[in-house]
Amino acid sequence: MQHDIDEIRQGLLSAIANSSSPREILKSAALKDMYSVIGTLEPSERAAYGKAVNEVKLALEAAVVAREAELADAAVEPIDITAPWDANSTMPDLMPSETASQHPLTKELEEVVNIFTRMGFEAIESRQIDDDFHMFGALNFPENHPARDGYDTFRTEEGFIPPAHTSTMQHRILKDGLSKLEAGGKIAAISYGRVFRNEDVDATHEHTFYQCEGVFVSRDATLGQMLGTLRSFFEVYYGQKLSIKTQPGYFPFVEPGLEFAIEKPASIGGKPGEWLEMLGCGMIHPNVLKEAGIDPTVYRGFAWGGGVERLVMLKYGIEDLRHFESGKLQFLRKFA
């Protein structure tokens, strides 16, 4: 019997290797016959025979996939990139454009930006490559200070840094805003974009993620204004009243520095007293203002910064951070 199976297997494999529609061969009568034999066997023989037939089937499927790839390669015509584009020709049917959609993070970032711009904040995208000064120096991290270790990121050979937080934009926002302060106005801006960290990736850590940063400076800015601003943002974003709390946190660029948490709403399964830390914040350190040419004896400011994925995960009950960068259509289509 084993002999028969081997013979059929060889015959089908060579048919697949020469076929222009190899998948059809999987439907062949010889394969079906092999299965129908199972019913005629003694129970003691069935397991071994069934296993052998299954192995044949797997080998044939692998051969079909290989043959299909071979055919697809042969079918690719070289592209003449110098050929003029015919604007009247129909679009090649490569992408189902009618089912395309925005990435959930793009969509949610638009919502975040929308809420803050309605509150009077200007919005600017953050940089994806920056330098040591904006990453550390301008933010009151002394040279060789251990606080730098909390932001383990990458460096290019030239010494540039893919930023580990959107706080790298603070100095630029402050410097550009100086003229507004001098004209009697205030600085109110958010900066959002991709940041990068040297992380081991798991369900709650990614090497690439998004943050949103806020900066506000006036003659009389207070922590109370900051907490009110943040509470309003979260309440609008989640569409409900929320309890908030803060606890001390250390960031060299703010004094005092705080960690800001919201109570997980009951509507999404939160229990009373279940707090979720959402961002870091505080009153901008006088050295950071000074570095940007702003007199800290005249002006005061507050700043905050936090991850965007966290915000979105909580809103939709997404359990794994890795989905966002995975490119999985099954995940992305849920937001289409």
| Interacting span for ligand DAH (CB under 6 A) from 220-228, 250-258, 270-278, 317-325 | 250-258
Query: Judged by CB under 6 A, does residue 174 bind ligand DAH?
Result: no
Give the shortest CB-328-to-ligand DAH separation in angstroms. 27
| Interacting span for ligand DAH (CB under 6 A) from 32-40, 180-188, 298-306, 319-327 | 298-306
Q: Specify the residue, 34 or 161, whose C-beta has the smaller distance to ligand DAH.
A: 161
220 neighbors 300 (Cβ within 8 angstroms) = yes
Spatial CA neighbour of 283 closest among 214, 235, 236, 233: 214
Query: Judged by CB under 6 A, does residue 303 bind ligand DAH?
Result: yes
Beta strands in the chain (DSSP E): 122-125, 187-196, 208-218, 244-248, 254-263, 275-284, 300-307
Residue with tokens 């679009």: 91
Give the shortest CB-286-to-ligand DAH separation in angstroms. 14
Give the shortest CB-272-to-ligand DAH separation in angstroms. 27
From 140, 167, 229, 246, residue interacting with ligand DAH (rule: CB under 6 A): 167
202-231 positions binding ligand DAH, by CB under 6 A: 213
Query: Judged by CB under 6 A, does residue 309 bind ligand DAH?
Result: no
Give the shortest CB-139-to-ligand DAH separation in angstroms. 8
Query: Judged by CB under 6 A, does residue 304 bind ligand DAH?
Result: yes
| Interacting span for ligand DAH (CB under 6 A) from 95-103, 225-233, 270-278, 303-311 | 303-311
128 neighbors 163 (Cβ within 8 angstroms) = yes
Percentage helix, strand, coil, to 5, in the chain? 45, 20, 35
Give the shortest CB-225-to-ligand DAH separation in angstroms. 14
Long-range contacts of 327-335 (CB under 8 A, 24+ apart): 332/101, 332/103, 332/104, 333/99, 333/101, 335/101, 335/102, 335/103, 335/104, 335/107
C-alpha 54/C-alpha 34 separation (Å) is 10
Give the shortest CB-157-to-ligand DAH separation in angstroms. 25
One-character DSSP codes across 84-103: PP-TTSPPPTTS-GGG----
Q: How far is CA 182 from CA 27, 65, 127, 178, in A?
A: 80, 69, 27, 6
99 burial (CB, 10 Å; 0-12 / 13-18 / 19+) is: exposed
From 165, 171, 300, 310, residue interacting with ligand DAH (rule: CB under 6 A): 165
| Interacting span for ligand DAH (CB under 6 A) from 79-87, 274-282, 286-294, 311-319 | 274-282
Q: Specify the residue, 251 or 324, whose C-beta has the smaller distance to ligand DAH.
A: 251
- Tokens for 334? 């849920």
Cβ neighbours of 304 (radius 10 Å): 24
From 212, 305, 309, 313, residue interacting with ligand DAH (rule: CB under 6 A): 305
Q: Specify the residue, 46 or 231, whose C-beta has the smaller distance to ligand DAH.
A: 231
Query: Judged by CB under 6 A, does residue 310 bind ligand DAH?
Result: no
Query: For residue 4, which amino acid is it?
Result: D
Give the shortest CB-140-to-ligand DAH separation in angstroms. 11
Name the phi and psi angles at 330, rounded to 5. -55, -40
For binding to ligand DAH (CB under 6 A), which residues are involved? 165, 167, 213, 251, 254, 257, 280-282, 303-305
